[in-house]
Every structure is written in C-alpha cells, then in structure tokens.
Amino acid sequence: MKSTLALSLTLVLGSVCLPPFLSAHSADEAAPRPDGGWKDRQKLLNERAAQAGDKAKVIFIGDSITQGWESDGKEVWAKYYSHRNAVNLGIGGDRTQHVLWRLENGNIDGLKPKAAVLMIGTNNSNGEDNTPGQIAGGIAAIVKKLRATLPDTKILLLAIFPRNENYTAQRGKLAMINQVIRRQADDKNVFWVDFGHKFLNDDGTLPGALMPDYLHLSKKGYEIWAEAIEDQLSKIIGDKGVKP
C-alpha cells in the first residue's frame, strides 16, 4: 500500500509543470564543451590572460563573432585595441553556459581590465534549445559573475547582433532577449550598447557586405563595431580615442 501511494505521488508530481522561472535549464548552468578544439582554445585563452595580467585594459568576451576579431577583424583590432593590450576571449560556437564555465576556470584570472565588452547568446537562440527568458537569464548570470570577480571593471553589454538575411522568428527572438538584458545596465558599472541597426538596410535585410553568411562579420562589419563603441570605451579607459 505504501509503495503504491509513493508511486502515485511520484506520477502526480512528475506531471506538474514548473513555472518558467523555476524550470531548470542549460543557459545559466556553467558547463564546458567536450570537443578537443574547444579545450585547446580554452587553454590558449587562459595562457593569454596569464600573459596579459594587469596590463590588459580591455577584454572581449563572446562566441565566434568575438573570435573573428582574429581573422576578418584583425586589422581593425590592431588599430583600436592592440595598444590597449586587449585580450580576445571569444570561442566559436559558445553559449552562455560555456562562457560562465570559462570565467570560472581561468579566462579572467589575473586580469584587471578597465572594460569588458560582452556579447553572447546568439548560439543559444538556435531552434528550441532555450527560450528568450532563459537566454536572458544566462547573460544576467555572466554579468553577475563579472561584477563579482572583476568589481573595478566596467562592462559594455552589447545587444546581440541581428542575424539572417531577412525577417525571421530567430531574429525576433534575439530582439526580445535584447529588450530584457538591457535592464542589466545601471550606467555606473554596466553600460548598454545597441548598434544592431547599423548592420541593416532600410528594408530590414542584412547586407552580405557586412555579414557574408548573415551571422559573422566582414572587415567592414568589425569597423562598424569598433567605431560604435569607441567613444564610450575611451572614456572608461581614460585614453585618447581612436579616430575612425
């Protein structure tokens, strides 16, 4: 009788749907990726952080769009960030949970940057993997982690860039996320920066000249990024801004 009752309770409780804010999800639970390439990149970023130490004035945190500063964006990076001993902490394919894990496992150890430029979340938006609310929660967890670990660092929280050539449900999903995460900004320690409109044509389409695959940036796309944040970044760092 007792076992039957226990089974019944289990079935009843198991059928209860938790409210969204109580549901467990992957976006805010720190986790590494199993692939060897990711592990190698993670090790490299830890080495970069250790080498830069307190000389780094700015760090960039994100996914492949951030990592792309080392390829299509390398000339723009050299102009705007090399003299600031900037550190690129981007890994292609990363989601919010992977960034959280990296921040807890060496990526920012020994660093004392004046500014951290953060953009993450587009990979979480693929399919039905995470809801907009879950992705916003993952980004909020990253901001909280940065504030706790690097309390003297100002965060430039970037709106997730638009993606896909035309209007899509995924692009709308990103817009909803941006509406929420902008509330993380307090204009004291966290600053909201949204220049996604600069990547769009008047009809709302994404030009291939800026995003050849309608996700990753061309050199011109990186120029738009650098120019869009330069005034605010130079004020935070306290140096003379780079002229476009």
Q: Is 25 a catalytic residue?
A: no
20 or 209: which leads in pLDDT: 209
Side by side, the strands of the sheet bearing 154-158 are 87-90, 58-62, 115-119, 154-158, 190-193
The predicted pLDDT at position 21 comes to 37
What is the per-residue pLDDT across 92-113, written as a single tens digit (0 to 9) for each?
999 999 999 999 999 999 999 9
Residue of 25, 26, 64, 234 marked active site:
64
Q: Is 213 a catalytic residue?
A: yes
Alpha-carbon separation of residue 88 from 41, 127, 131 (angstroms):
11, 28, 28
Is 115 a domain residue?
A: yes
Is 179 a residue whose pLDDT tops 90? yes
DSSP code of 57?
-
DSSP code of 159?
P
Q: Is 64 a catalytic residue?
A: yes
pTM here is 0.90
Is 128 a domain residue?
A: yes
Is 2 a residue whose pLDDT tops 90? no
Alpha-carbon separation of residue 229 from 118, 128, 160, 185 (angstroms):
12, 32, 14, 15
Least confident of 7-11, 37-41, 139-143: 7-11
What is the per-residue pLDDT across 61-104, written as a single tens digit (0 to 9) for each?
999 999 999 999 999 999 999 999 999 999 999 999 999 999 99
- CATH number, domain of 58, equals 3.40.50.1110
Is 160 a domain residue?
A: yes
Task: Count up the domains in the chain and report the number.
Answer: 1
Is 11 a domain residue?
A: no
215-243 average pLDDT score: 98
Partners of 97 in beta bridges: none
Residue of 35, 109, 186, 213 marked active site:
213
Domain residue limits at 44: 25-237
Alpha-carbon separation of residue 192 from 79, 232, 234 (angstroms):
24, 10, 15
